[in-house]
Amino acid sequence: MATVEAPTRPQIRLHEGPFVNEPLTDFSKEENARQMRAAIEKVRGQLGREYDLILGGKRVRTQDKIKSINPAKPSQIVGLHQKAGKEQVEPAITAALHAFESWSRTSVEERASLLFRVGDLLRQRKFEFCAWLSFEVSKNWAEADGDVAETIDFCEYYSREALRLAKTELPVQMPGERDTLFYIPLGVGAVIPPWNFPCAIMAGMTLASIVSGNTVILKPSSDSPTIAAKFVELLEEAGIPDGVVNFCPGAGASFGDAVVSHPKTRYIAFTGSREVGLRINKVAADNAPGQIWIKRTVLEMGGKDAIVVDADADLDAAVEGVASSAFGFQGQKCSACSRAIIDERIYDKFLEKLKVRVEKITVGDPAENTNMGAVINEGSMKDILNYIEVGKKDGRLITGGARDTKAGDGFYVQPTVIADIAPKSKLEQEEIFGPVLVVIKSKNFDHGLEIANDTEFGLTGAVYTKSREKIERAKRDFHVGNLYINRKCTGATVGAHPFGGFNMSGTDSKSGGPDYLYLFTQGKSVGEKIG
């Protein structure tokens, strides 16, 4: 009788040397542009495919479906997905619990090696993943490339961080003892990412979870499940064991809430709106029957981010920084500049220059590499247009102010600047999450900081000034998790700008930083008597 050989595990391979960020692609080089165009055509040929749920390695189909569409061409289906419901919760939890038994005991070297392999595979298919981002969430080439590069950075950075934590040494050894500190995994985690960074944030929270030894129920946004499906395919190719990551697109109100409230869920990693984040925090705080731990929540929520421009600032640099921060990826970043607070002495001059700069922005199909694509869906577009109408009454329209019908039948909104908005008003306080910038006049730098801080959020911010004294004041008094000086307030880089905010912007989780993996582990101190 023939014997069946057991499957061999992939060889452990650890990268040598310090962490280095993945280089961004220069699309002005024809070879890179050619590869991107080829990837777009390749992905175009794969649109409309149906994807299964993955529970413990098993493919599952459901009666209800999620239809992911191209925001730039709403008639175009990017992917058809199964819609997980309450009946999938127990199978998902069971699969993750079963996998946790072995994955939590897998060596940190093997777990880190998996992440390195995923990073290598992603490098090979960088353009292809960029193309998927263009189709599913309407990112232009540079925005898509930044998203994928950050995903590769997370593969490289979190694997190195896990290896570093495994070698933690205590500063004191008691006489006659061997004293050690271990960072052990938590258990089953729910990972609930947003649609705006559907590769980097989705993968980052998942990778941090699994390299720490946890297992995951991944519930991607219903606006961007295809990117997550492609990433899970990559994990499988890299050799991830069944059940370590369970792919479960589904409605937040049914499947999501049921996973969050389940007594065997150990933690929830979430990025998204303030409202949903607070709901998750509340549901997680309840002690369900049979639950023996306090659930941990890792929450990154919204922002109402401001750039304060002082009278002595380099005006051209400030205009460029504000425009890039406000309208990159259609203003759909939690770090986007939605408030420009300008010293009254340069206010009119700044608006003149800003109007010229913004009106150079091209809007259209991001697959053709325009500056701005479509906003994510019709509901979002309507909300943004409603905010614009309020702004027209409360302030002075400088440019934009309507749906962009010239760009096509997608969910396009003109880049919009509204000046003379008063502090504490609706547009100055509420997160719009679209290509709308409000401009507010300040009396001086101190008044500008006061306006910037007068919000429930505290995610990112920037100041433009030549004064060292004012820079130091901003470092001390501008209450945000990520502050930038004389540069834009978007574009946090892994390793350089650990990302996470204060107040209603979340739990200051600092993704891409040296303390992030602590959130996915718990410390276990062991004192062993020797001799």
**pLDDT tens-digit profile of 178-199?**
999 999 999 999 999 999 999 9
For residue 453, pLDDT over 80 is answered with yes
Q: In this prediction, what percent of the chain has a pLDDT beyond 70? A: 98
- Segment 286-304 mean pLDDT: 96
May I ask the CATH class of domain 30-301+510-524? alpha beta
Evaluate whether 155 touches 116 at the Cβ level (below 8 Å).
yes
- 3-state SS track over 122-135: HHHCHHHHHHHHHH
- How high does pLDDT run on average in the chain? 96
Instruction: Tell me if residue 237 falls in helix, strand or coil.
Output: helix
Establish how many alpha carbons lie within 13 A of residue 407's alpha carbon, considering only the half-sphere containing its beta carbon: 28
Instruction: Give the per-residue pLDDT at 9.
Output: 60
- Return the CATH class of domain 305-494: alpha beta
CB atoms closer than 10 angstroms to residue 397? 15
Confidence of residue 371 (pLDDT cuts 50, 70, 90): very high
Q: Is 70 exceeded by the pLDDT of residue 509? A: yes
> What is the structure's pLDDT at 4?
40
If phi > 0 it is left, if psi is from -120 to 50 it is alpha, else beta; for residue 160 that is: alpha
At residue 180, what are phi and psi to the nearest 5 degrees?
-135, 160
Confidence class of residue 14 from pLDDT cuts 50, 70 and 90? confident
Where is 119: in which H helix or E strand?
helix 108-124
Tokens, residue 107: 């060596």
Q: What is the mean pLDDT of the segment spanning 323-345?
A: 98
- Reduced to 3 states, what is the DSSP secondary structure of residue 149? helix
Position 10 scores a pLDDT of: 66
Distances, alpha carbon 511 to alpha carbons 18, 113, 197, 523, in Å: 18, 20, 13, 19
- DSSP annotation string for 181-202: EEEEE--EEEEE--SSSTTHHH
Query: pLDDT (tens digit, 9 = 90+) per residue, 40-69?
Result: 999 999 999 999 999 999 999 999 999 999
Summarize the confidence of residues 335-350 as an average pLDDT. 98
Across the range 309-321, mean pLDDT stands at: 98
Using 50, 70 and 90 to split pLDDT, how confident is the model at 8?
Answer: low
The answer on pLDDT for 354 being more than 90 is yes
Instruction: Name the pLDDT band for 253 (thresholds 50, 70, 90).
Output: confident
pLDDT at residue 6 tops 70:
no
Q: Could you list the active site residues?
A: 300, 334
Mean pLDDT within 28-36: 98
For residue 2, the model assigns a pLDDT of: 42
Single-letter code of the amino acid located at 375: V
Handedness of CA 206, 207, 210, 212 (dihedral sign): negative
Q: Taking 60 as the threshold, does the pLDDT of residue 217 lie above it?
A: yes
Which is nearest to 455 in space by CA: 341, 375, 309, 322?
A: 341
Helix (H) or strand (E) holding 503, with range, is strand 502-503
pLDDT above 80 for 347? yes
For position 252, what pLDDT does the model report?
A: 78
Hey, where are the domains in the chain? 30-301+510-524, 305-494
Number of C-alpha atoms within 13 angstroms, CB side, residue 115? 30
| Nearest CA among 510, 495, 421 for reference residue 460 | 510
Q: To the nearest 10°, the Cα dihedral for 442, 444, 449, 452?
A: 10
User: What pLDDT, in 10s, does the model give residues 17-29?
Assistant: 899 999 999 999 9
